[in-house]
């Protein structure tokens, strides 16, 4: 039996990597359709919510998922505090003793105590909205129930959410843009966001000569922008797009 052809709107983009309002909305609908097509597979990957909301002043794609906080570790040295150096009175002898202690630590791996690496799950809510200035999507995110966004929390967010290979680039506003704090366009509440100043050039560089559509646009964009702050593209979504 021949496969029934499904009537769908023209998915070609007029001026990639830039989007019109209609193209952004269609891209969000296509993304949600891919998510729905994966049934409940995404729940096993930590996704707890994905919806497209067009009821507010501006359309917004909402995704919520659990992500592993990035492991942190620190090294502490435990110097030899044996009694043989406790009664040294001469400063020169004390300096010699310190040098010997340092040599002992360097020669003895057990003198270096490394705290165990640990990770924990943190729930992050991501909002994707179209920038009227840059004409590309902008990623806003926050931790539901977490502390209010501020300079100290921004530093903690870098260390716990951003993979190590992206931290210096994001802090320096590299090709990915930079992570900062702004007021959410709809709620006015301070949230984190990835600045879109370099998004268009990065999208063109990654896409190359391959034609992009409203179906593939957000997969490419999330893989480029979202991946650096815990919003990765599940392979199930890519496979679902390839089967359509």
180-225 residue pLDDT tens: 889 999 999 999 999 898 899 999 999 999 999 999 999 999 998 9
What is the tens place of the pLDDT at every residue in 97-115?
445 544 543 454 444 344 4
Percentage of the chain modeled with pLDDT above 90: 37
**pLDDT, position 38:** 81
Q: How far apart are CA 19 and CA 196, in angstroms?
A: 13
**pLDDT, position 154:** 80
The three-class DSSP label of residue 42 is: helix
Range of the domain at 177: 19-66+121-237
Average pLDDT over residues 8-15: 76
Going by C-alpha positions, the residue among 29, 17, 21 that lies closest to residue 132 is 21
What's the CATH code of the domain at 211? 3.30.1460
Q: Residue 224: inside a domain, yes or no?
A: yes
Q: Residue 72: inside a domain, yes or no?
A: no
Are 157 and 179 in contact, with CB atoms under 8 Å apart? yes
Average pLDDT over residues 60-87: 56
Q: Residue 98: inside a domain, yes or no?
A: no
Helix ranges restricted to H, 78-120: 91-107
Average pLDDT over residues 135-158: 86
What is the tens place of the pLDDT at every residue in 166-186?
776 666 654 444 788 899 999
**Bond before 17 cis per omega within 30 degrees:** yes
Average pLDDT over residues 71-76: 41
Q: How far apart are CA 181 and CA 193, in angstroms?
A: 6
Radius of gyration of the chain (CA): 25
Give every CB contact of residue 31 below 8 A, 6+ residues apart in sequence.
Answer: 50, 52, 61, 218, 219, 237
Distance of CA 63 to the CA centre of its chain: 13
Q: Residue 146: inside a domain, yes or no?
A: yes
Average pLDDT of the chain to the nearest whole number: 75
Q: Residue 225: inside a domain, yes or no?
A: yes
Q: Residue 170: inside a domain, yes or no?
A: yes
**Number of domains, the chain:** 1
**pLDDT, position 4:** 39
Q: Residue 60: inside a domain, yes or no?
A: yes
Q: How far apart are CA 118 and CA 73, in angstroms?
A: 8
Q: Residue 186: inside a domain, yes or no?
A: yes
pLDDT category at 153 given cuts 50, 70, 90 is: confident
Whole-prediction pTM value? 0.73
């Amino acid at each position: 039996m021949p496969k029934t052809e499904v009537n769908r709107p023209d998915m070609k983009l007029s001026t990639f990597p830039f989007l019109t309002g209609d193209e952004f909305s269609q891209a969000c609908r296509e993304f949600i359709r891919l998510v729905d097509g994966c049934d409940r597979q995404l729940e096993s990957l930590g996704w707890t919510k994905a919806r497209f909301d067009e009821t507010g002043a501006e359309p917004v794609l909402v995704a919520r998922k659990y992500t592993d906080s990035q492991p942190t570790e620190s090294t502490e040295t435990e110097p030899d505090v044996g009694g043989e150096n406790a009664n040294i009175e001469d400063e020169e002898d004390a300096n010699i003793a310190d040098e010997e202690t340092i040599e002992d630590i360097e020669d003895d791996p057990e003198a270096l105590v490394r705290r165990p690496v640990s990770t924990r799950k943190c729930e992050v809510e991501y909002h994707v909205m179209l920038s009227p200035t840059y004409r590309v999507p902008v990623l806003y995110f926050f931790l539901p129930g977490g502390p209010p966004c501020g300079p100290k929390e921004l530093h903690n967010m870098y260390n716990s959410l951003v993979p190590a290979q992206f931290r210096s680039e994001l802090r320096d506003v590299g090709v990915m843009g930079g992570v900062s704090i702004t007021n959410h366009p709809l709620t006015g509440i301070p949230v984190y966001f990835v600045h879109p100043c370099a998004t268009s050039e990065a999208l063109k560089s990654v896409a190359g000569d391959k034609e992009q559509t409203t179906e593939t646009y957000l997969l490419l964009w999330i893989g480029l922008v979202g991946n650096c702050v815990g919003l990765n593209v599940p392979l199930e979504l890519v496979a679902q797009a390839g089967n359509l």
